[in-house]
Amino acid sequence: MTVVKNIGKDRVFQITAIIAILSLFFARPHLADINFSTLWSLLAMMTIIQIFEYLHVLDYLTYRLTSHATNSRQLSWFFVLLSFVGAMFLTNDMAVLTCIPLYLRIARKYDLPEIIPVTAIAIAANFGSALTPFGNPHNIFLMSKFHISLGQFGAWVWPLVIADVVFLALLSSLVPKRTVPTVPVVDIRINPRPTTITCIAALLVFVAVFGVIPQWVAAVVVVALAAMMDHRILGQVDYGIICTFVGFFIIVSDISQIPAVVTTLKHLETNPVSVYLTSIVTSQVISNVPSTVLVARFSNQVAALFYGTNIGGLGTLVASLCNLLSFKQYGLYSRRSKGRFLLFFTIINFVALAIMGALGWWLLVR
């Protein structure tokens, strides 16, 4: 019952469900348009994330890393780095949900800067999640739909890695340098055996994303592992994102049968720059996950779609769920003006979008 309530309270799912119902007035969805491989991969990934959360792996790394900071700029950089790396393996949402509350608790205690560090943590999560096949839901979808090889994915990613790290380092350098007391290490113990087993299960999810083994096999193994560790883990899994994706598939299946939509988006089939720009622009309005599902229906320009939707997560507050979660965490854990934060958060995000957008365009046309 708790699981059903959590799904029902998911605002993104609520909006998606309403739009999906409205889309049924235009057409009926085709079962073939629902990508079950993506749904299995999402179930596996969301479950493995909750197992790591249950084992307190990211909490442990956070406290260990930040205990070595001697000033506010260094502390900010440590959190940015942890968000960047954590998002690669545990998704951008989990990275901001862990790093932002902890940073803001420390910032409130020692009166440290908040706007730039929190914005940098959010951007780092968006950047980091783009760099692995399972860092965010739309990468999982692209891997499942287009069967992208590891070599091809790596070729797309490495220029972004360099640009991302440089941008984040420059942004973190804007944080005023103030001396801070050593952040005490909380006594969080990691049990090596279940952590090792979970890492092996995560590797299984990784190879399943690349199609080495069926995605449903990885999902069954991971769900079974969670049940054996503690059945309550399964109650914490984000089933809302899975249901939301079902809604996306229904919406795209319906509207792709509307002649006017087909005519409008038909030009995306052959022009990578159009795909790239359309992905970025639509992400600013409807978020990058539904944008990926929509544009992928009309184009096989995978590189353009990859760059467009991942870079398109920067910009507006709704460009990615990660941005919305970051704003929500700031509102919950900071006593300072949310309006001021939103203003600077948006400005910095659009600067990042302009820089990374230019890089993405160059990577496509070079």
CA distance to 85, 251, 291, 299, per residue, from 153 (Å): 17, 28, 20, 18
128 pLDDT more than 90? yes
Domain spans in the chain, listed from the N-terminal domain onward: 2-365
List, for residues 79-110, the tens digit of each pLDDT value.
999 899 989 987 888 888 888 988 998 888 88
List, for residues 109-123, the tens digit of each pLDDT value.
888 899 999 999 999
Take residue 140 and report the two structure tokens written for it.
């999982």
Task: Tell me what the pLDDT averaged over the chain comes to.
Answer: 87
List, for residues 167-216, the tens digit of each pLDDT value.
999 999 999 988 877 655 556 677 888 999 999 998 898 888 777 889 89
Q: What is the pLDDT of residue 315?
A: 95
Q: What is the pLDDT of residue 183?
A: 56
pTM for the model: 0.82
Classified as helix, coil or strand, 209 is helix
Cβ-based neighbour number of residue 261 at 10 Å = 17
Model confidence band, residue 219 (pLDDT cutoffs 50, 70, 90)? very high
Q: For residues 285 and 319, what is the distance between their CA atoms, to the nearest angstrom?
A: 7
